[in-house]
Structure 1
Amino acid sequence: MSKKTPASPKKLLHGVRPSRIIYPILFGLAVVIYMLTKEVDENTFSMIEFTWYSAFYLFLALIMMGIRDLGYIARLRILTERKFSWTKSFRIIMLWEFTSAVTPSAIGGTSVAILYLNKEGLKVGRSSAVVMSTSFLDELYFIIMFPLLILLLDVQQLFMINPEENSLWLNPLLYFALGGYFLKLVYLIVLTYGLFKNPRGLKWLLLWIFKLPVLRKWKHGANKAGSDIIESSKELRTKPFLFWFKAFMATFWSWTARYWVVNAMLLAFLFQGYELSEHIMIFARQLVMWIMMLVSPTPGGSGFSEWVFTKYLGDFLPTTGLAASMALIWRLISYYPYLFIGVYLLPRWIKKNF
């Protein structure tokens, strides 16, 4: 195993220490509690009847999250050419998800992910290549799916919450989505150019940009990112089409399963009357929500995610108070488990590797 690590392990791991889970939990609960106290009344939950039917669809929501994780694990094995076992891949993915859950959405856990892979047996250059590949594939999914859904669905319905009251172009959610999509598109173009065309040219561009006074304090990080891209490019430029196809299909099933979680949740209660077109719209709005979450400054989009859920999916629910409750259930299924799994795994992983 290489003794060299991508950066100071102590400094990197300090930013994802287990005690940091308190911040996203507090952010998320504060927003949900505020919305519940503001919107809930004695009639809010009168429409809900919990049955075995409800239990089945809540279990299905958990299965969707399991498929999502299985897709990520399979992708990691594809990208490492089965260097890691299923067990080791599971551990790495859980640590990676924990890192993403306790850092702002726009930052993510790239540097720490490289450290995880390196300490599990990959050289630094190949670790960088794997992490860059996952980032490339994730962004590619969004860049393809977003315009495809725009073409297939009614744009007014996709972005408007109250069409009678607001113009589409006055809706702030539209600008959150377009802003997040533009950032992802630029990032994908730059990353593709750097990984497959001219990695040294991209490093030079990054260093030139980070000479600007407002960005100068991050120049060292930009230099490190440029070096990672150069190392990654050596690994990735020779991979065949089948390699990328399999990795993208694992990515596709992973993200798609994640978005069906809310559909299953809605079916769990008294919302069985949705038609297929409405389910597709719910799916599409979740994809747009994740693009919006890119601009969230809070760890894992906590707080912002719950608010966007109530505003953006609330018109599929009878009351705003019920939407806030659903937002909490959604995060309990799709977000909080990674916090607690990470709290369990990370100290043991640090003890083993350091």
Structure 2
Amino acid sequence: MEQNNSTNPTKLLKAIRPQRVIWPILIGFAVIIYLLAKDFKPGTFDLVEFSWLTLLGLFIAFLMMALRDFGYMARLRILTENEFSWLKTFRIIMLWEFTSALTPSAIGGTSFAILYLNKEGLNLGKSSAVVMATSFLDELYFIIMLPLILLMLDWQQLFLLDITDTSPLASSLLLLILGAYLLKLAYLVVLSYGLFKNPRGLKWLLLWIFKLPILRKWKQGANQAGTDIIESSKDLKNKNYIFWLKAFFATFCSWTARYWVVNSILLAFWCCDYSTLDHLMIFARQLLMWIMMLISPTPGGSGFSEWVFTQYLGDFIPEAGLTITLALIWRLISYYPYLFIGMYLLPKWIKKNF
């Protein structure tokens, strides 16, 4: 099978160059500094009462990130049928997250994941199947959760809609979220069809689409994607429902824990009566934020993520300066650790495997 350029070891070496890691850090901090310079007011932190609840909230935030990673590890062991030890699984997940942190959100780290799994001992077909299955389960989580959230919450409040607000921001966000959701739904339908029904037909369709002049330069990648789907289908279509239930439960725990990180941070720095903190709405807003972050062209959504946080969660926080500071704390807990862990692990992994 022809090797996919995106999983070429040479590109892995380029991924750990210092400037590749520095860029997302610089972009994120540049946006934070700009927002602080624009909106920060003296006395902002006078609103915060530091107490044992602050420490408890931050501890829970870190605990949620640990649960999130544990969920990913458990899912990987389920999908590989316990092929890897917990230690090896941890290493794969950290490397996967590192490459996700260095690529735009829409691309993610999946292009490297097949290589990680293959070099750790899985054959190429099985590696492709596992990566495709993780993509399927992630998209399924979003597709199921958004309608459930809409049934439970005031959708106008959720989408920041106000009949008195004539600014284009609210309507633009709504259109962006709905458009992204429909794209995710279409992707899930096409992926499900290819994995479980007609993989060769999907490969033919991909190659036909990528004959178009505007897409022709990506035809080789489309051919590889089609081949991966065919290989994946052989391994996945005969799995029973217990297998998929366990894998989806691990996915559910992982993504849900990721979102509760912000709830925990707001709990730590909440400036008002704790009983007024609407945790379900905060959780739901993050679901929408993550859909919006998929369009970010920056590595790991740097800059755009911080801005979306201030726009979409700012109404829960009394001061803009505090909102920006909490956005930075959120990224320090949920994003930057993977950069530093990956910088430590990836050179050793490359030296061992190449």
TM (normalized to structure 2)? 0.95
Q: How far did 1:49 drift?
A: 2.1
Matches within 5 A, 1:30-179: 30-160=30-160, 164-166=164-166, 171-179=171-179
Task: Return 171-180 or 280-289, whichever deviates more.
Answer: 171-180
- Look up the SS of the partner of 1:171 in the other structure: helix
Give the Cα–Cα distance (whole angstroms) in 2 for the partners of residues 166 and 308 of structure 1. Answer: 20
Assess if the C-alpha contact under 8 Å between 1:140 and 1:188 holds in 2. yes
Give the Cα–Cα distance (whole angstroms) in 1 for the partners of residues 24 and 82 of structure 2. Answer: 34
Shift in CA distance, 98/11, structure 1 to aligned 2, threshold 3 Å: same
Letter in 2 for 1:122: L
Matches within 5 A, 1:214-293: 214-271=214-271, 273-275=273-275, 278-293=278-293
- Look up the SS of the partner of 2:35 in the other structure: helix
Give the Cα–Cα distance (whole angstroms) in 2 for the partners of residues 81 and 25 of structure 1. Answer: 37
Provide the residue aligned with 2:8 in structure 1: 9
Give the Cα–Cα distance (whole angstroms) in 1 for the partners of residues 201 and 2 of structure 2. Answer: 25
Shift in CA distance, 163/50, structure 1 to aligned 2, threshold 3 Å: farther
Letter in 1 for 2:278: E
Provide the residue aligned with 2:182 in structure 1: 182
Cα-to-partner distance string for 1:111-132 (whole Å, 9 max, x where unaligned)? 2100000000000000000000
Give the Cα–Cα distance (whole angstroms) in 2 for the partners of residues 179 and 15 of structure 1. Answer: 34
Q: How far did 1:46 drift?
A: 1.1
- Look up the SS of the partner of 1:90 in the other structure: helix
Moved over 6 A (4+): none
Assess if the C-alpha contact under 8 Å between 2:156 and 2:162 holds in 1. no
- Look up the SS of the partner of 1:281 in the other structure: helix
Provide the residue aligned with 2:210 in structure 1: 210
Assess if the C-alpha contact under 8 Å between 1:12 and 1:111 holds in 2. no
Give the Cα–Cα distance (whole angstroms) in 2 for the partners of residues 181 and 157 of structure 1. Answer: 18
Q: How far did 1:110 drift?
A: 1.6
Q: How far did 1:205 drift?
A: 0.4
CA RMSD, Structure 1 to Structure 2 (Å): 1.8
Q: How far did 1:231 drift?
A: 0.1
TM (normalized to structure 1)? 0.95
Q: How far did 1:10 drift?
A: 2.6
Task: Return 139-148 or 38-47, whichever deviates more.
Answer: 38-47
Give the Cα–Cα distance (whole angstroms) in 2 for the partners of residues 223 and 40 of structure 1. Answer: 51
Assess if the C-alpha contact under 8 Å between 1:195 and 1:233 holds in 2. yes
Unpaired runs of 5+ residues, structure 2, are none
- Look up the SS of the partner of 2:301 in the other structure: coil
Shift in CA distance, 170/287, structure 1 to aligned 2, threshold 3 Å: closer
- Look up the SS of the partner of 2:278 in the other structure: helix
Give the Cα–Cα distance (whole angstroms) in 2 for the partners of residues 172 and 188 of structure 1. Answer: 24
